[in-house]
Amino acid sequence: MLTMLRGASVSVAAIALIYTFGYSGLVTTEYRSASADLAERFIPLPELNKADYNARMLALAHVSSTTEVLSSSSMSVSVTSTTSPSLWPVSAVYPNADALLPFKRIVAYYGNFYSKGMGVLGEYPTEQLLAQLASTTVKWEAADPSTPVVPAIHYIATVAQAGVGKEGKYILRMPDDQIDHAIELADRVHGIVFLDVQVAKSTIEYELPMLEKYLKMRQVHLGIDPEFSMKSGNRPGTVIGTFDAADINYVAEYLAKLVRENHLPPKILVVHRFTQDMVTNYKKIRPLPEVQIVMDMDGWGSPEKKKGTYSRVIVPEPVQFTGIKLFYKNDLKPPSTGLLTTDEVLQLTPAPIYIQYQ
């Protein structure tokens, strides 16, 4: 956790708090530095509940444990039973205070208001859409009462398209009134917003500033889709694209800067993935105190196929948190027997903290 106090004089102190767990070599480290004038120095800062954070990370990995606090700077966790792969929970930096994850589970409706084929957001009138989202939220709250649910509108703000477009980038950027509508819907359900970016033949460096005024808002987070990152030069939809760790780290640093400069709670960055090659060099991806990273399995198919993809693509390459996308239509195509149930999703290891419906 990195907390910066701003002031005229500069005195830097670094305290490393290392929490060592008796399973899978998990080490979570907190870094704090302060530079403050006397007036600010006595303002109490919000603190992350590290014990709750640790317990929830263990629970997501289905690790049963007992804990004992040994001192203010270390904690020993004795594992009593586990069904977790050795890779989970993930060793990562603590987030800043006011982080949503893993304290809340996010349930998001995905799509674009212009298209019925891109997801649930474009399929229903507003009132019906919000009623259905509310019903889905209640279902997840009942499935896991220990984890409060935050509803979300996950809106595709930069859309890859088959046509070359005016800039030759094969993208279509949504107008402000459509993004404003997504924010309005989220406000109505006391939720949050994700703006999704499909860069096509553009770059993430070029596209993010187009959304910066929205990303400066407390309730707005980000999704990026490697499937439509056409580094190969192919037209979107003809091959599956890719992002490297360097791309993801660039986005995280970009968001972290906005968080620091605008005194925001941590942002969430969702990275969609359903093949190995969609994300390269995963070990170099760096979650930050200001940015929590979710690797979201968004492949469609039968329940068994989805479980297989999750186990093959997401589980062996841990970053920080996981998510899963459920398709109201594509997941029902034969030979599927239905969508994954809430219980089946929660039984995945690790259990996804971000649930998206398309």
pLDDT tens figures, 278-300: 999 999 999 999 999 999 999 88
CATH number of the domain bearing residue 148 = 3.20.20
Q: What are phi and psi of 269, to 5 degrees?
A: -115, 115
Q: Are residues 63 and 109 in the same domain?
A: no
As to burial, measured by CB atoms within 10 angstroms (0-12 exposed, 13-18 middle, 19+ buried), residue 104 is: middle
Indicate whether 150 belongs to any domain. Answer: yes
The answer to whether residue 176 sits within a structural domain is: yes
> What's the pLDDT band for 339 if we cut at 50, 70, 90?
very high
The whole-number average pLDDT for the span 332-337 is 88
Same domain? For 268 and 131 the reply is yes
Cβ-contact 283, 90 below 8 angstroms: no
Q: Please report the pLDDT score of residue 287 as a whole number.
A: 97
Q: Specify whether 261 is located in the same domain as 347.
A: yes
Residues 68 and 118 in one domain: no
Residue 179 lies in a domain: yes
**Pair 32, 169 in one domain:** no
pTM: 0.84
Nearest to 101 by CA among 263, 268, 241: 268
Stated length of the chain: 358
- Asked if residue 8 is part of any domain, the answer here is no
Strands (E), 161-228: 171-173, 192-197, 220-224
* SS3 call for 290: coil
Beta strands in 214-314 (DSSP E): 220-224, 243-244, 267-273, 279-280, 291-297
**Residue 256 belongs to some domain of the structure:** yes
Please check the confidence at residue 4 and state whether its pLDDT lies above 50: no
216 and 248 share a domain?
A: yes
Residue 13 CA: distances (Å) to CA of 36, 124, 227, 324: 11, 53, 42, 40
Range of the domain at 26: 15-82
Question: Which of 39-43, 137-141, 161-165 ranks highest by mean pLDDT?
Answer: 137-141
1 within domain boundaries: no
* The total number of structural domains that make up the chain: 2
Residues 77 and 109 in one domain: no
Tell me the C-alpha distance between 357 and 17, whole Å.
38
Position 5 in a domain: no
Band of pLDDT at residue 44, cut at 50, 70 and 90: low
pLDDT bucket at 112, cuts 50 / 70 / 90:
very high
Q: How far apart are CA 349 and CA 317, in angstroms?
A: 13
Residue 112 DSSP code = B
Of 98, 79, 103, 62, nearest in space to 21 by CA: 79
Query: 56 with 124, same domain?
Result: no
Mean pLDDT (the chain) is: 85
Rounded-to-integer distance, Cα 306 and Cα 322, Å = 14
Confidence class for position 269, pLDDT limits 50, 70, 90 = very high
If asked whether residues 32 and 143 sit together in one domain, one would say: no
Which pLDDT score, from 0 to 100, does residue 41 have?
52
pLDDT of 176: 98
Assigned domain for 98 exists? no
Assess whether 275 and 222 both reside in one domain: yes
Residues 130 and 69 in one domain: no
Question: 308 and 353 share a domain?
Answer: yes
